[in-house]
Amino acid sequence: MSTLGTRKTILITGAAGFVGSSMADRQLDAGHIVHGIDNMITGSKSNIQRLQRRANFHFDEIDINDASALLRVQRAHYDEIYHFACPTGVPNIRTYGEEMMRTCSTGTENVLRIARQLDATFLYTSSAEMYGDPDVFPQIESYNGNVDPVGARSSYEEGKRFGETLVRLYNEKYNVKAKIVRIFNSYGPNMSKSDTRLIPNTFGNIKADKSIVIYGDGNQTRTHLYITDLLTGLETVMAKGDCASPYNVGGNKQLTINQLVSALGGVLGRKIPVEYREHYIEDHRGREPDISKVMELGWQITTDLASGLAEMCREYGIATGARVNEKQPLSKGRATWSNGALHGSQTEGEPSFG
């Protein structure tokens, strides 16, 4: 892992975003030099301002789709490139669909060319969205997905799939040391307060004493991974993963959206008011990654949902009213609820709470 190696110079695209800025902090903490770039269409200025107070961080506002602007980047030397750049989130599909497709194609190839020129190890952050609306659970990396190429979500889904194809091509044709991680739902500090995705939007509404808005009936399922575990997964694949071979990195326990809200209510020690609305875009029924492949590299989940949500409460200045019970781990798979508590057969690494 990076904390045990020699000092590196690392390029991070999408450095103003949630995951990009968090990775920049992680690499700076490890003593590395970080060059962050972002075009700031969805990035957070506060993330960059925080990073710019740190030694060994440099930032350029650059659109990776502009090859001429990237000439500044090509003059440097990088050991590793973490490629996070791309607008994310279902609410952004309508607004930034064209930018998503361009960034996953032209932008990704531009950054791959830099990796080729500089002989840098490259990590492409793909997404669980490449599986579309899956009919196989859990989703293993060999599953090709169920994607509508002209559907409402296709700009992001097909964009990420095309980006993976570029990674494979550059590895096979040009011997670029290029890795792929498919990120599932993640959360943690440094998410934009204006982010309309479920967890940051939920905390924003709680802070403002508003009801939580759930689109649909709330029975669609997702898994949730805390940011520190995601960053460790990305570093693990960067260091040990096979080139051009995708790895799922995500939580290993399905929760319905309703169960997630109940879990948050358990952390807060009170019931949370909910308002249900018709979804503004077609939604997918569920997501659940098979994470056995990345676990074979030594990665594991270390932060349970209760602890992660409690940390988010501290980030938003919201008082909590529950304790974490670290002696009752949760099961892998779908959780169940009774008497206001989360239950499941035991497995290592997923503490429950009550």
Average pLDDT across each block of 10 residues of the chain; the chain has 354 residues. List them in order.
70 97 98 98 95 97 97 90 91 91 98 97 97 96 96 95 98 98 95 79 90 90 96 98 98 94 91 87 84 98 95 92 44 36 31 25
Same domain for 241 and 93: yes
Catalytic residues: 156
Tell me what pLDDT residue 82 has: 99
CATH number of the CATH domain containing 277: 3.90.25.10
Same domain for 195 and 169: no
Same domain for 262 and 345: yes
Query: What one-character-per-residue DSSP string does 130-163 give?
Result: GGBS-SSSSBPTT---B--TTSTTHHHHHHHHHH
Domain range spanning residue 161? 8-186+225-249
Total domains in the fold of the chain: 2
Q: How many CB atoms lie within 10 A of CB 61?
A: 13
Same domain for 240 and 103: yes
**Alpha-carbon span 17 to 293, nearest angstrom:** 27
Same domain for 306 and 203: yes
CATH number of the CATH domain containing 39: 3.40.50.720
Same domain for 138 and 163: yes
Same domain for 89 and 29: yes
1 lies in some domain: no
Tell me what pLDDT residue 149 has: 95
90 lies in some domain: yes
Answer for the pair 203, 316: CB distance below 8 angstroms, yes or no: yes
**Alpha-carbon span 321 to 255, nearest angstrom:** 21
**Alpha-carbon span 187 to 319, nearest angstrom:** 19
Tell me what pLDDT residue 90 has: 74
Helix axes 257-268, 305-316, angle to 10 degrees: 70
**What SS3 class is residue 341?**
strand
Answer for the pair 12, 35: CB distance below 8 angstroms, yes or no: yes
Question: H-helix or E-strand containing 49?
Answer: helix 45-52
The model carries a pTM of 0.88
Same domain for 162 and 18: yes
270 lies in some domain: yes
